[in-house]
Amino acid sequence: MSFLGVESSLTGRRWTGPGIETERAAEALAQATGLPRPVCLVLARRGVDATEAEAFLSPQLRDLLPDPRSLRDMERAAARVLAAVTRRERIAIFADYDVDGGSSAALLVSWLRSLGREATVYVPDRIDEGYGPNVPAMQMLAKTHGLIICVDCGTLSHEPIAATGGTDVVVLDHHLGGETLPEAHAVVNPNRQDEDGALGHLCAAAVVFLMLVEAGRQMREAGQQGPDLLAMLDLVALATVADVAPLIGVNRALVRQGLRVMARRDRPGLVALADVARMDSAPSAYSLGFLLGPRINAGGRIGKADLGARLLATLDPHEAAAMAEKLDQLNTERRAIEDMVRTAALDQAEARGLAGPLVWAAQDGWHPGVVGIVASRLKEATNRPAVVIGFEGDEGKGSGRSVTGVDLGASIQRLAAEGLLIKGGGHRMAAGLTVAQDRLEPAMERLSDLLARQGAGTMGPGDLRLDGLLMPGAATVELIETLERAGPYGAGASAPRFALPDLIVRHAREVGSGHLKVSLTDGMGANIEAIAFGAFDGPMGAVLARGDRARVHVAGRLDINTWGGRQSVQLRLEDAASASSG
């Protein structure tokens, strides 16, 4: 049954609201806790009851942090890293070229620096070397280093790790493991096949952080004082959000605490990046995912692969400013390349058909640095798993993004095991692959079949799921601040969306490039200002811009708008429907 009777909104979606069980649970929460009903609806959706509400709204890292030793090889990994520090061995860090890899490397660099040690950071070139350790690079590092630590990679790197000879390798990763592990000194990965998966939602930086917690424990047992780990949580928060790890369990606490650390502006690289991104408010999950993350990723996508890791690790504000400026410039170039590839990929996918369990596109010359972002755009547009591949000669490098409930990484890994891919791997929501031109069609056909078995083909256009009704007069700054306590919001923890029913459009105007500012009233003295980004990309902008006192239901997320030192409520308008049709 549709919410407010909206079967097809101005964006073509059906609105759905909370079920009767969620409504009842929210009512019980409100009575037991005295919390505002909108907050109780959000908590009820997350399965939080009255006894857990306060702890959920104030997550404490000490209560939620798992015992690092619950992960296999953890004690062995930490002991080997500490031995390298004590013996003053040269340490190399081999990191992936994305935000998670760069943050993981910077975490280790910061920790080692606190102990008076430096490390070599090696980040492979996306185009020339591809993802993960390769034989030449590992052999080169092994010649001059006593220990190599692979972060955000390495779990499937049997041959490159074997090629290091007698040099010890420690792997700290989160990507899906295979049936066998490489012959490393230690492989710490919550997604190893012999793990129970309870910590499978951790990104690589969080795995690195747990290793540092274990190292700190071993140092205390030896009567030594370790570095301040809480001051490094800004990097863990950044990686968690940018790698689209679900914001549940300990991830919530890591991000909440990390945002507080980031707000102190102690890390020169993040300060410079925030300034170049013109962040004018306290850091949030949104700013990590949409302002900082894409700029750090730009280095690995189309620029110098290690630029992001170097920025995050530097102590020099001048060097940080120069690198942040370069990353901002690369991000602008990346957007232009992405727009071109996205248009072509969508045209190709539409010609192939969008009704199946998989949406995919492939073409010669597409930049491998943007195929992952374009896959995300295709996934969002179709509510289906998407794969985008760029070919250079007979070999294509691609990236895939999945939807909730469909494990893309496992399916990609199976294709690689079956010989349809040259290589492939990843996790539930994202995966990478390399495929030969003559295997492209059979590989995509097989992948479609595997995803269909998980239910991917049954999904229609995404309904707009709402947490409940809200009247304009109840939308206060205080309510939004309480709702924020139930966050942070992101992957696996969608931000609260509310429907505001039967409002009158007072006035509306286009702002910027295709955005809409609209003022709404309930006709009884309560007003709310709203902004709809990209509203004129579809029919919503033109319909609402006509104004003429039209009566509408609107839906979206609540924001606090700060201007001239004053705070006010603003609705980030995502959808609307005629009130007369509801």
Residue 433 has pLDDT above 80, yes or no: yes
Residue 165 CA from chain centroid, whole number: 36
Tell whether the torsion through CA atoms of 149, 150, 155 and 157 is positive or negative: negative
Could you list the residue range(s) of the whole structural domain that residue 502 is in? 466-581
- Number of C-beta neighbours around residue 564 at 10 A: 4
| Whether residues 319 and 247 fall in one domain | yes
Helix/strand/coil (H, E, C) string of 481-543? HHHHHCCCCECCECCCCEEEEEEEEEEEEEECCCEEEEEEECCCCCEEEEEECCHHHCHHHHH
Q: Which of 281, 290, 275 is nearest to 244 (CA)?
A: 290
Does residue 465 contact residue 493 with C-beta atoms inside 8 Å? no
59 domain residue, yes or no: no
What average pLDDT is seen over the chain? 94
Q: How many residues does the chain have?
A: 582
CATH number, position 451? 3.10.310.30
Label residue 171 exposed, middle or buried (CB < 10 Å: 0-12, 13-18, 19+).
Answer: buried
| Whether residues 442 and 499 fall in one domain | no
Q: Which of 490, 470, 476 is nearest to 554 (CA)?
A: 470
**Burial letters 66-103, b for 16+ CB under 10 A, else e:** bebeebbbbbebbbbbbebbeeebebbbbbbbbbbbbb
102 domain residue, yes or no: yes
CATH number, position 259? 3.90.1640.30
Last residue in a domain, options 327, 343, 367: 327
Please name the residues in contact with 397: beta carbons below 8 A apart, sequence gap of 6 or more: 130, 368, 371, 389, 390, 432, 433, 434
pLDDT of residue 189: 98
| Whether residues 471 and 381 fall in one domain | no
CATH number, position 488? 2.40.50.460
238 domain residue, yes or no: yes
Question: What integer is the mean pLDDT of 225-251?
Answer: 95
Tally of domains within the chain? 3
Last residue in a domain, options 414, 441, 458: 458
Residue 494 has pLDDT above 70, yes or no: yes
| Whether residues 317 and 397 fall in one domain | no
| Whether residues 154 and 259 fall in one domain | yes
| Whether residues 532 and 553 fall in one domain | yes
- 582 pLDDT tier (thresholds 50, 70, 90): very low
pLDDT of residue 220: 97
DSSP of 337-370: HHHHHHHHHHHHHHHH-SSSS-EEEEEET--TTT
How far apart are the two ends of the chain, measured CA to CA in Å? 12
Q: Which two tokens stand for residue 454?
A: 């998980």
- 549 pLDDT tier (thresholds 50, 70, 90): confident
Last residue in a domain, options 441, 458, 475: 458
| Whether residues 439 and 475 fall in one domain | no
Residue 18: is the preceding peptide bond cis (ω within 30°)?
no
3-state secondary structure of 296: helix
| Whether residues 470 and 415 fall in one domain | no
31 domain residue, yes or no: no
318 domain residue, yes or no: yes
336 domain residue, yes or no: no
| Whether residues 490 and 515 fall in one domain | yes
What span, in angstroms and rounded, lies between the C-alpha atoms of 289 and 283?
10
More confident residue, 211 or 542: 211
333 domain residue, yes or no: no
| Whether residues 447 and 470 fall in one domain | no
- 5 pLDDT tier (thresholds 50, 70, 90): very high
Residue 257 has pLDDT above 70, yes or no: yes
Residue 581 has pLDDT above 70, yes or no: no
58 domain residue, yes or no: no
| Whether residues 205 and 87 fall in one domain | yes
Helix (H) or strand (E) holding 371: helix 371-382
- 460 pLDDT tier (thresholds 50, 70, 90): low
Q: Which of 385, 561, 559, 573 is nearest to 489 (CA)?
A: 559
User: What does the pLDDT look like over 34-62, one tens digit per residue?
Assistant: 999 999 999 999 999 999 999 999 999 99
- 267 pLDDT tier (thresholds 50, 70, 90): very high
Does residue 190 contact residue 81 with C-beta atoms inside 8 Å? no
Does residue 538 contact residue 10 with C-beta atoms inside 8 Å? yes
User: What does the pLDDT look like over 339-397, one tens digit per residue?
Assistant: 999 999 999 999 999 889 999 999 999 998 899 999 999 998 888 999 999 999 999 99
User: What does the pLDDT look like over 294-324, one tens digit per residue?
Assistant: 999 998 887 788 999 999 999 999 999 999 9
Beta strands (DSSP E) in 145-274 are 147-151, 168-172, 186-188
- 461 pLDDT tier (thresholds 50, 70, 90): low
| Whether residues 428 and 507 fall in one domain | no
Residue 167 has pLDDT above 50, yes or no: yes
